[in-house]
Amino acid sequence: MAFIIIFLSCNAISFAQNNKTAQPDINAIVDSMMYGNDGFVSNKKIIGASIGVYYDGKTYNYSYGYADREKKIKVNNATQFEIGSNTKVFTGLMLSSEIAQGKMDSNDFIEKYVEVNPNIKHKVRLTDIANHISGLPTFHDSESLAELMAQDTTKDPLSLVTDAYMLSVLKKVDSLHNYGQYEYSNFAVGILGYILQKKEHTSYDKILQAIICKPLGLNNTTASLDTISTKVAKVYAHGERAPYIALCNTMLGAGAIKSDITDMMTFIKFQLHGNPLMNDALTISQKKYYNGEHLQIAMGWHIGDIYNSEIYTMRGDTYGASSLMMFDKAHKIGLVVLLNSANSGVVERCQNTFLAKVLNNTSDFQKRFQKPAIIINKTILEKYAGIYELQPGFDGTVTIEDGQLYLQLTGQPRGMFKSVEENWFTMEKYNCQLEFEKNDNGVCNTMVIHQNGQDISCKRK
C-alpha cells in the first residue's frame, strides 16, 4: 500500500504517541530530512539542496551538499537552482498582475493574442490555461507532440521544440480534450508565457523582473539561461551530470526560472502576508478556478486538504533538478525545497515530513480527538456497517457491537473507534479518524480514512 493506514506503520505509531504536545523543533525536522533514514545523506544521488521553512513568523534557511560536486563548491543561500514547473506559479502571477492592472481580462480568449484553429475560437480563456483546464495538448499524451518526441535521439526532447512548432500545433488543434477538467499541460502554460511576451512586447525574463522580482525584492531570480555563473548549481540525474533545461520562447513560462532559497522564501512570505504593490494580483492568483472533488487549482497552485488544513503546493522537475514550494494560509507556514538532483520522491517526502510534524500539532486537527465520546442511535450506527474498498483486494470491514464501531482492514487486527460526532469516529492511539458520507437519500456509500495527512476515500461494496 502507498498510504500509511491504521496501525500499519511503526513510524506512524511512534509519531502519533510522541509528537502531539511539543512545539515543533524546526531544526530537528529539517535535520531528519537531510540526515534521517530517508534523508539526503542516505541517498547518494542527492548532490546538493537548499531548504527554507517559514514558521511562527520566522524564516529558517538550510544548505546541504554541493552546488558543483566536481569542483567541491558547496551550496549556500545564494545558490541558484532550476525550479522547473514552479515557474508556472510565477507565470500565473504575471497574468494576475496584468488582469489587476486592466491590461488583460480574465475572460479573454487566447485568439485575441495568438492564431488558433477556427474550431476552438471563443472556447479557451487565458485563465483556463493557467489552471490546467484548457483542454489543449500536453507533452505526455498528445498525438501532435508525440511525433516530435519520437525524433529525439539526444535524451533532451525539449531541445527540438521551437516557437514555430509550438504555434503550428496550436493552429492544428481542432478540438479540446476534456475542456474544463484538470489536465496538466506544459504546452498550454508555455503558450501563456508567450502570450504575455507578445502583450508586453518584451522578453519573459524582463516581464518577470518588472512584475514580480522588482516589487518583491527578488534579486537572484531569473528566467535567463546562464551556464557559466558559479551561482548556478550544476544539475544531476541518477548521480551523474545532466543538461540544464533550455527552452524556446513559447516554453519559458512552463519551466525556465532559476532562483535561490532567499528569494523563494520571500516569495512564500508574500503568498502568506501580501505586499502593498501586488495585493490585487495576489488575490486574483490565489482564487480557485478549478474545484474538483479532491483538488483545486489557483493559477498554477495545487490545493488540497491535508490534516484538515488547506495546503497550496507546487512541484517542479527538470532533467537534473527537483523542487517544491508550499504554504498554509491558516497557520502561516511555508516550505521550499530545492535540489540540484532529479528526484521528485525526495521533495515529496520532505513535504510529508514537514506537514506531519508541524500540522499534526495544531488544535484544529486534534480537536476531534479531544472531544468526549457520544452515544449514537443504534439505527444510525448500523447504517455504517459494511465493506468498503480501499483498492482492489484491500477492503475495510466496519462492524457494530454493543454500540461501538470497529474497523478491520484486510490482513490486520480489528480496531475500535470512538464516536465523537454522528458521522465521525476517532482512534487517537494511531492518529486516525473515520468519516462516513451519506448521499441525498441518507444512505452511507463512502468511508473516508483520515490519517497522517492522507485522506483515503473508500466506496462501499
All cell numbers assigned to 15: 509519531
In percent, the amount of the chain with pLDDT more than 90 equals 66
Structure confidence at residue 352 (pLDDT): 86
Instruction: Read off the pLDDT band of 452 (50, 70, 90).
Output: low
Structure confidence at residue 293 (pLDDT): 80
Structure confidence at residue 11 (pLDDT): 31
Structure confidence at residue 12 (pLDDT): 31
pLDDT over 60 (residue 268): yes
Structure confidence at residue 424 (pLDDT): 92
Q: Which of 178-187, 189-198, 231-240, 349-358 has the lowest mean pLDDT?
A: 349-358
Q: What is the C-alpha separation between 116 and 167, in angstroms, rounded?
A: 8
Helical (H) or strand (E) element with 62: strand 58-68
Q: Residues spanned by CATH 2.40.128.50 within the chain? A: 369-460
Name 251's Cβ contacts closer than 8 Å, sequence gap at least 6: 158, 161, 166, 186, 190, 193
Higher pLDDT, 363 or 73: 73
Structure confidence at residue 32 (pLDDT): 87
Instruction: Read off the pLDDT band of 145 (50, 70, 90).
Output: low
The CATH fold assigned to 81-361 is Beta-lactamase (3.40.710)
Q: Is 60 helix (H, G, I), strand (E, B) or coil?
A: strand
Instruction: Read off the pLDDT band of 412 (50, 70, 90).
Output: confident
* Across 267-280, average pLDDT: 97
Q: If you average pLDDT over every residue of the chain, what do you get? A: 87
Q: Residues spanned by CATH 3.40.710.10 within the chain? A: 81-361
Helix extents (H) in 102-185? 126-130, 143-150, 163-172
For the stretch 74-118, pLDDT in tens is 999 999 999 999 999 999 999 999 999 999 999 999 999 999 999
- Reduced to 3 DSSP states, what percent helix, strand and coil does the chain have, rounded to the nearest 5? 35, 25, 40
Structure confidence at residue 152 (pLDDT): 58
Instruction: Read off the pLDDT band of 140 (50, 70, 90).
Output: low
Inter-residue contact 445 to 453 (CB < 8 Å): no
pLDDT over 60 (residue 5): no
Instruction: Read off the pLDDT band of 228 (50, 70, 90).
Output: confident
Structure confidence at residue 433 (pLDDT): 87
Instruction: Read off the pLDDT band of 15 (50, 70, 90).
Output: very low
Name 303's Cβ contacts closer than 8 Å, sequence gap at least 6: 288, 295, 296, 297, 310, 311, 312, 313
pLDDT over 90 (residue 260): yes
For the stretch 304-354, pLDDT in tens is 988 778 999 999 999 999 999 999 999 999 999 999 999 988 998 899 889
Q: What is the C-alpha separation between 335 and 325, in angstroms, rounded?
A: 6
pLDDT over 80 (residue 38): no
Inter-residue contact 326 to 351 (CB < 8 Å): yes
Structure confidence at residue 7 (pLDDT): 36
CATH of domain 369-460: 2.40.128.50
